[in-house]
Amino acid sequence: MSGAASESWIPSTRADSGRGFGLDHLPIGSFAAEGRGRRLGIRIGDEVLDLSRAEEAGLFSSLGEHERMTLREPVLNALLALGSHAWSRVWDRTRELLSAPCGTLREHPDRGSIMLPVWGVSMRVPAHIGDYTDFYASLHHATNVGSMFRPDNPLLPNWKHVPIGYHGRGSSIVPTGTPVRRPSGQRKPPDATEPLFGPSQSMDHELELGFLVGPGNAQGQPLTMDEASQRIFGVMLVNDWSARDIQAWEYQPLGPFLAKNFATSVAGWVTPISALNAAKRPGPPRSAGDPAPMPYLSSPSDWGLDIDVQVWIQSALMREKGMAAVQLSSGNYGDMFWTPSQMLAHHASGGCNMQPGDLFASGTISGPTKGSRGCMLELTWRGAEPMALPDGTERKFLLDGDEVTLRGSAPGCAGGRLSLGECTGRIEPACAANG
């Protein structure tokens, strides 16, 4: 993405709107709308550019054929496979069409079918996600969780040497707004002698950033740090829902399984990495005594991201009383110990072949203060310190009817802030057959 123009002819992008979806952002997603099937769109202000209709109208004729054809796809995978040079050409042309000096789209006779109001579209998962990996990249989160279960040894010896992750379930990734059914599984209450099967009693959210992979690598061929950096297309908010009581029973010796595979919510809008150039920061400094990253995890051009993130909650009773959602926590992605490029380079270091549309997520984003903890497990310290809600109830973990919304923002290349697309999900009761 080249330098962003400062003004668009779209009214809702004016400086006083404060929405964070201007010309220096242009997030992309997959959507459906009345009268047209699933397709790709780029958001500008409160409107969505239907890329398929725009391409059919000849508005992207300056691009190569392969680039144009990817705009007619219902998901991002074909565009992701083309790489960063093609991405730049698509976004440069889009920015030109939407900038104030250009009348090509503004005066087009079919503009009404090419541009749609954002309230008239329904977001889908932006890509066909063949594989999903969730990391554990926050030092604060890992230390907090370790302190609960291993007070004398909270951080395991390998943690600062290697990015820790587990293989998630691509088939249960759902778009923002999709209800999330409480899972059932085996759990062993502290006072029980034997495990039992039933609905989780410790449902939790996890505030994360997800990263979509562009061009892949051949099986057996690792990625350097610089190659990994070039293969990250964009970021979106991710809620990796967790059933903590099921997790506590099943995670030894091989890690999470049913506690994580029932649902992962993703935002509908993907912010291109190129729109986050003003948010890029050097990787987090290491403390005295910390091991230096191994050579395959080191690069002088590595970067972290200055992205503010928040978690909001609205209970069923709050909705009944007309009460707005309240903020549970607020943190910053810059507090993470491992960078996106380190996570991707490590993922491929053993020869794993990444593919366009693969998703990897950061793990819970937590900071050094209680108010910056990114999940209920930490916020309530495993239920020992319940949180009060304005409806007069308390939460140790999430209850049925609770709606959790993740929000984020980052400095924009043209000044001001970009708003990441929200990620929302509401807990529904467990399936009756398992209740």
Active site residue 140: no
Which listed residue (25, 140, 141, 205) is catalytic?
141
Cα separation, 254 vs 351, whole angstroms:
21
Q: Is 293 exposed, middle or buried (0-12, 13-18, 19+ CB in 10 A)?
A: buried
- Host H or E run for residue 172: none
Residue 30 in 3-state DSSP? strand
For the chain, the first-to-last Cα distance in angstroms comes to: 51
* Contact of 415 with 6, CB cutoff 8 Å: no
Alpha-carbon radius of gyration of the chain? 22
Q: Write out the two tokens for 240.
A: 């990796």
How, if at all, do strands 173-175 and 36-44 pair?
Answer: unpaired
* Contact of 234 with 277, CB cutoff 8 Å: no
Q: Write out the two tokens for 117.
A: 């109001």
Cα separation, 109 vs 95, whole angstroms:
19
Catalytic residues: 141
